[in-house]
Amino acid sequence: MSEVTREQVEQAIAGHQDLYLEQDYITANALKEINIGTESIDVSIEVGYPAAGAKTQIENTLKELLQPLAAEKDIRVKLSWNILANDAQKDVENLTTVKNIVAVASGKGGVGKSTTSVNLALALVAEGARVGILDADIYGPSQAIMLGIEDGVRPEVKGEQFWMPIVAHGLQSMSMGYLVDENTAMVWRGPMAGSALQQMINQTMWHDLDYLIVDMPPGTGDVQLTLSQKVPVAGALIVTTPQDIALLDAKKGIEMFRKVEIPVLGVVENMSVHVCSECGHIEHLFGSGGGEAIASQYETKLLASLPLNLSIREQADSGTPTVVAHPDGDIAAIYRALARKLGAELDCQNREKAVKKPNIVMYSD
């Protein structure tokens, strides 16, 4: 048999489309190295999203593609990831210690936005990323409870003006719930809440984050406007239920982000289906197909559909969200797939921006 060539290896790799990037590794510029030796073929792939949960599957798939070329050679494939920083929106400076800020938003309350935020953040950690979460719901912070932080725990102060994030389940976190007593009502006007949000983001000493997940308050008010105008947001994730009124409010949230030129990365549909724990009967209690319809209408993607399941609520309330409580369960798998899809969307967005940037050439007379 003739010697294997680099072109043959590249052609074989190009035959596989990454599930999350939705393109092959050659097109995505993810093929980093090919070494063809006398006894082995070594391939190195580097993607721009955390992929711990898909690593083995991707490596095995590529090995199978390359095997027909190998004859007696050993096929060795190594998948790694390097998460790039996204540029902020116009006229907003990037944070030096945070690569990507993602706003998790909804048009109305009660759709599971905070539960989605914390499980998404923990799923990104499980996938191999460095992650923080900011509880931006100034009036009704809930992340301290969901992360199991005891009442009365306060962030350490550094240099009289900076807070150290509180770490729980491998996640860096900051919340108004850490700064005030849980029984204190935040009777603030909108500008005060917006100012508090800015302080929590800029005065928290986030440590080398790939992603900062911002759990937004519901609606499209002052806090949302402050975030979009003053904070370097890479993209937004919209959480809704299939219910018609929730979808109507979700549309308003998407429209708001579009007006301030923040990309909507996708939609998460909560409570999409109920499966009876006794008989297994499947029922769409709040309607069906709404998340997919709104994603299609606004030319974005339905990134995940989550069932109406009592355990999701119970685990979040107990301070051990689903991704931590049952990391190998079916629901945790949905959140981890969501994390990979979100990371891939941000990576594709970042690469598209890089392509669109003009090349500046200096000439000397």
Q: For residue 358, give the DSSP letter.
A: P
Distance of CA 38 to the CA centre of its chain: 42
DSSP letters for 182-212: TT------HHHHHHHHHHHHHSB---SEEEE
Do 234 and 141 reside in the same domain of the chain? yes
The predicted structure's pLDDT at residue 131: 98
Q: Is residue 143 part of a domain?
A: yes
The predicted structure's pLDDT at residue 360: 46
Strand partners, 131: 211
Query: Which of 23, 49, 81 marks a domain boundary?
Result: 81
Q: What's the Rg (C-alpha) of the chain?
A: 22
* Residue ranges of the chain with per-residue pLDDT less than 50: 1, 358-365
Q: Is residue 1 part of a domain?
A: no
Q: What is the pLDDT of residues 122-180, one digit of tens each?
A: 999 999 999 999 998 877 788 999 999 988 889 999 887 899 999 999 999 999 888 77
Count of the separate structural domains present in the chain = 2
The length of the chain in residues reads: 365
Do 15 and 144 reside in the same domain of the chain? no
Do 218 and 154 reside in the same domain of the chain? yes
Q: Is residue 240 part of a domain?
A: yes
Query: Which of 81, 116, 131 marks a domain boundary?
Result: 81
Do 311 and 250 reside in the same domain of the chain? yes
Tell me the three-class secondary structure of 204-221, residue by residue.
ECCCCEEEEEEECCCCCC
Query: What CATH number did the domain enclosing 135 receive?
Result: 3.40.50.300
**Using CA of residue 274, residue 280, residue 283, residue 289, what is the dihedral sign?**
positive
Q: Is residue 359 part of a domain?
A: no
Q: Is residue 67 part of a domain?
A: yes
Domain residues for the domain of 103 are 98-354
Q: Is residue 365 part of a domain?
A: no
Do 175 and 66 reside in the same domain of the chain? no
The predicted structure's pLDDT at residue 188: 61
Do 242 and 127 reside in the same domain of the chain? yes
Do 343 and 242 reside in the same domain of the chain? yes
Query: Which of 47, 81, 115 marks a domain boundary?
Result: 81
Do 193 and 272 reside in the same domain of the chain? yes
Q: Is residue 11 part of a domain?
A: yes
Do 199 and 127 reside in the same domain of the chain? yes
The predicted structure's pLDDT at residue 365: 46
Query: d(Cα 51, Cα 170) in Å, to the nearest integer?
Result: 17
The predicted structure's pLDDT at residue 278: 67
The predicted structure's pLDDT at residue 354: 64
Q: Is residue 360 part of a domain?
A: no
Query: What CATH number did the domain enclosing 19 receive?
Result: 3.30.300.130
The predicted structure's pLDDT at residue 78: 97
Q: Are strands 264-269 and 235-240 parallel, antiparallel or unpaired?
A: parallel
Query: First vs last Cα of the chain: how many Å apart?
Result: 57
Q: Which long-range contacts (CB under 8 A, 24 or more apart) does 178-184 make?
A: 178/144, 178/149, 178/153, 178/154, 179/154, 179/155, 181/151, 182/144, 182/151
Do 142 and 24 reside in the same domain of the chain? no
The predicted structure's pLDDT at residue 209: 96
Q: What is the pLDDT of residues 286-304, one digit of tens each?
A: 656 777 888 888 888 999 9
Do 143 and 52 reside in the same domain of the chain? no
Do 132 and 254 reside in the same domain of the chain? yes
The predicted structure's pLDDT at residue 190: 61
